Structure 1
Amino acid sequence: MNSHRITGAASAVALTLLIALTGTGTAHPAPRPAGPAYVALGDSYSSGVGAGSYQGGDCKRSSKAYPALWAAAHAPTSFAFTACSGARTGDVLGKQLTPLTAATGLVSISIGGNDAGFSDTMTACVLNDDRTCLDRIATASAFIRGQLPAKLDAVYDAIDSKAPHAHVVVLGYPRFYKPAATDCAGLSETKRTAINKAADLLDSVVADRARSHGFAYGDVNTTFKGHELCSGSPWLRSVTLPVDESYHPTAGGQSGGYLPVLTSAARVAGRAAAG
């Protein structure tokens, strides 16, 4: 990574403006400073699958997804939303990076879960016995440890090359189940525990590779805590229809789980750029 990389997003510096008064003495409000040029990359957790209010098309980009919510609140100078349901690292490289330029100030991304076989793993665990579930999780975990790091590096290198001045926020995935839940219908405790451990492993690898590139890592387990499945107040869908929305954040998970993590990281970047 370029050693001169700007550590924060190129956000507007807040200035004190002289307020012009009208003849009646009414003050005109100062215009809101524009946020950085923002590009949202990634998979279904970034596109907003499970949150509803989709914009149309196969990618199921939601107006309730955290990228759209952040853009609505911060008025970036430009906003490109290329995250797509089902995306893997190769899809990001081949289809999502076009909006990135040297002028891009903020990039967000969640990626890696589909490479590791997220959908197949959850299907195996829902439809089969504990042994089959654990075997499929073991296969996914081996991929996460052995092959995923290089795939993530390829994506992060490409982002760094195309948007060298951007503050990049890599967001992780939440644990699905409340730990040691005593009243939890559906999957066995053995399956739930193994699924949570696999999610933690995925997050640890994603975080490690992101930080090695100088990117910020957003741990959404901090905000999803108490809102896992079996918590009584879940921000994740269990098995549902349409099936592809199963085990994805609800609109509440996007606004309460993901958005604050991105907002915090972007705010830190703004202060760094201003200072």
Structure 2
Amino acid sequence: MLKLFLTVFALCLIHGSYQQNPNIVALGDSFTSAGAVGGAPKSYPIVAGKILGWPAVNYAKGGSVLKDIPGQLKKAEAALANATHVIFTTGGNDVGLVQSFTQIILLNDLAGASKRVKDVEAGLVSAYNLIKAAAKPTAKIYAVAYVDFISVSKKIPNEASCHKLMDILNETVKKAAQTAGIRFIEEVKTAFRGHEMFSAEPFADSLFASSNAAHPNAKGHAKIGEVVAARLLADQ
């Protein structure tokens, strides 16, 4: 009986330690890295960590594609050994998001752009499985949705089709996450509602900006950080 009590007590201590010491490791592309708007300190993973009071480190790099994930995992190896939460946005560069939007705006070719998105699904699953294998078994792993930053009220040609492409991209990410057995923060998709590009207070720079085009700005990363923090806390 004493042995059973001690075993249960030890398990409670381990669980309590895990609950009391959460932390975040981030991976991915420029949607995670915030390189053009101040880098890691301004990025949504670091914002989320500050909101929650959790240590957070960001290994994401602008321009990264899915084949770059193993390199990021190598750099993050020590941090991943103790990570309780792993979050990332990745795959957009494999799709060629800016080029896809241009294809829709100029040519109204949603079908062609959509095919490139769907073709990335298998690569997403493989990347997610690599991340799972690199993290400890108890880590909570999250694919974060790509926020829909596209304008409303017909400010660009074929605007509705651009929104549809964001829907298809996020459905593809969601399906890949389900296949890999990881979590998906879908709430981020609509985080910029009322603050789309060309709005009075945009949370993203436009498709035609000279820098940071089609990416969240500092206010955008702050908002995504809030949404991510709320989800991580809800899952505790």
- TM-score range (shorter-chain normalised) is 0.7 to 0.9
C-alpha offsets along residues 143-176 of structure 1, whole Å, 9 cap, x if unaligned?
222x211101111111111112211121111223
Q: How far apart are residue 225 of structure 1 and its match?
A: 1.3
Contact 2:104 2:113 (C-alpha < 8 Å) held by counterparts = no
Q: 2:183 aligns with which of 205, 210, 216?
A: 216
Q: Answer whether contact 2:103 2:113 (CA < 8 A) is retained.
A: no
- Cα distance 1:118–1:267, how it changes in 2: closer, same or farther (>3 A)? same
Structure of greater Rg: 1
Note the residue ranges of structure 2 that are not aligned, 5 or more in a row.
Answer: 1-14
Cα RMSD after superposing both structures:
2.4
Q: Give the match for residue 97 of structure 1.
A: 73
1:46 touches 1:65 (CA, 8 Å); kept in 2?
yes
Structure 1 residue aligned with 2:47: 69
CA displacement at 1:216 relative to structure 2: 2.0
> In the alignment, what sits opposite 2:232?
266
Task: Give the number of the structure whose residues are more often helix, by fraction.
Answer: 2
Select 1:247's aligned residue among 208, 214, 231: 214
SS at match of 2:40: coil
The 5 A counterparts of 1:121-140 are 121-124=100-103, 130-131=106-107, 134-135=108-109, 137-140=110-113
| Higher mean C-alpha displacement, 217-226 vs 38-47 | 217-226
Structure 1: stretches of 5+ with no match in the other structure: 1-9, 15-32, 54-60, 271-275
How many residue pairs get aligned? The number is 216
Structure-2 change in CA distance of 1:11 and 1:86 (3 Å) = farther
Task: Note if contact 1:102-1:165 (Cα within 8 Å) is conserved in structure 2.
Answer: no
Q: Deviations over 1:60-91 (max 9, x none)?
A: x33111112223344445x4311011111111
For 1:62 and 1:80, locate their aligned partners in 2 and report how far apart those are by CA, in whole Å.
Answer: 8
Contact 1:237 1:249 in 2 (8 A): yes
Q: Residue 171 of structure 1 corresponds to which residue in structure 2?
A: 144
Are 1:87 and 2:64 counterparts?
Answer: yes
Conservation of the 8 A alpha-carbon contact between 2:26 and 2:32 = yes
Distance verdict in 2 for CA 1:112–1:13, change over 3 Å: closer
- The residue identity in structure 2 corresponding to 1:269 is D
> CA offsets, 1:20-53, max 9 Å, x none?
xxxxxxxxxxxxx5x4232100111100144x22
Give the direction of change, closer, same or farther, for the CA distance of 1:261–1:241 in structure 2 (3 Å limit).
same
Is the 2:91–2:124 Cα contact (8 Å) retained in structure 1?
Answer: yes
TM-score, normalization: structure 1?
Answer: 0.70
Partner AA of 1:176 in structure 2: F
Question: Which one-letter code corresponds to 1:260 in the other structure?
Answer: E
The SS at the match of 1:107 is strand
Cα 1:125–1:197 change in 2 (3 A) is: closer
Alpha-carbon deviations, 1:199-249, whole Å to 9, x = none?
Answer: 11000010121133332211213321111124332211112222xx01111
In structure 1, the residue matched to 2:90 is: 111
